């Protein structure tokens, strides 16, 4: 029995550890988990339609319980096999580290959300949890090679992206303050304070411009025009930074994989 456990646990760990399949993509077990996540998310989205849920509510609840049991089995398998992680820590410490990790806490939340029908919560709580079940898509993050590459790209350009965010925030505050000073007395319900003006500044800077809030004075229109033009550049700037960073991250990742073959 002990011998079979020694041979089974490394195999389970290799199937569930995304790092072990970096070059080959997803393992069969993780590919199955991704499929279950996507299917369960579709169920969570569809069941928010009252007409459909009214007819098939019982089947949706049974499906959620099944999903919850599958995720519970996955969680238990990860907890058991994480003892195979590399390092000098004991098996107990590795499991404690796993249980307290953000990914494991998210897994527990998903399991509880999936088993809500068993807990017998009231209707309003059920509606809330049905929406929260959609966050199980976040579980895909640790299983996706592409998302790990994107995280690496963001890390490579974190200072440039931080500078862009700081610049955008400065432009927002300056634009909102300018419209508060120019239009505050004329349109107090829209520009009567800097926080109220920030809604207009955000929609203008992002070039969305719903048209529900707009300046009516020549000076206000000039400020709005300048902010709109600044928005074009500020939106394009992080896109260019991320494009270059993603290219560098994927290139370095590909070089690493080629070197390991």
User: Which DSSP string corresponds to 115-132?
Assistant: THHHHT--HHHHHHHHHH
- The model's pTM: 0.56
CA-CA distance, 191 to 151, in Å (whole number)? 38
Q: With contact defined as beta carbons under 8 Å apart, do 201 and 215 qualify? A: no
Q: What is the pLDDT of residues 167-195, one digit of tens each?
A: 888 888 888 888 888 888 888 877 888 88
Q: What is the pLDDT of residues 61-108, one digit of tens each?
A: 888 888 888 888 988 988 888 887 777 778 888 888 888 887 788 778
Secondary element (H or E) of residue 98: helix 91-99
The Cα 225–Cα 220 span in angstroms is 9
Q: In the 8-state DSSP scheme, what is residue 215?
A: -
**pLDDT-above-70 percentage for the chain:** 72
The closest alpha carbon to 132, from 146, 121, 142, belongs to 121
Cα 180-198-131 angle, rounded to 5 deg: 155
- For residue 211, count other CB atoms closer than 10 A to its CB: 7
CA–CA distance, 115 with 133 (Å, rounded to integer): 11
């Amino acid at each position: 029995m002990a011998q079979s456990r020694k041979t089974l646990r490394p195999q389970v760990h290799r199937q569930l550890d995304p790092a072990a399949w970096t070059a080959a993509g997803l393992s069969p077990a993780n590919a199955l988990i991704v499929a279950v996540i996507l299917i369960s998310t579709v169920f969570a989205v569809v069941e928010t339609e009252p007409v459909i849920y009214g007819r098939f509510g019982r089947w949706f609840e049974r499906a959620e319980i099944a999903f919850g049991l599958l995720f519970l089995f996955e969680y238990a398998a990860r907890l058991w096999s994480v003892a195979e992680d590399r390092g000098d820590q004991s098996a107990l410490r590795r499991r404690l580290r796993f249980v307290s990790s953000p990914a494991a806490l998210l897994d527990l939340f998903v399991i509880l959300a999936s088993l809500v029908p068993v807990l017998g919560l009231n209707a309003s709580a059920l509606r809330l949890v049905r929406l929260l079940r959609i966050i199980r898509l976040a579980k895909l993050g640790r299983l996706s090679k592409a998302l790990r590459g994107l995280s690496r790209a963001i890390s490579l350009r974190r200072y440039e992206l931080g500078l862009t965010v700081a610049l955008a925030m400065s432009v927002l505050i300056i634009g909102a303050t300018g419209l508060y000073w120019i239009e505050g007395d004329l349109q107090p319900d829209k520009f009567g304070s800097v926080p109220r003006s920030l809604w207009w500044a955000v929609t203008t800077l992002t070039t969305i411009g719903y048209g529900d809030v707009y300046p009516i004075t020549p000076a206000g229109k000039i400020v709005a025009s300048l902010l709109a033009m600044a928005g074009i550049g500020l939106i394009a700037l992080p896109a260019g930074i991320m494009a270059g960073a993603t290219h560098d991250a994927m290139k370095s990742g590909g070089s690493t994989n080629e070197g390991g073959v």
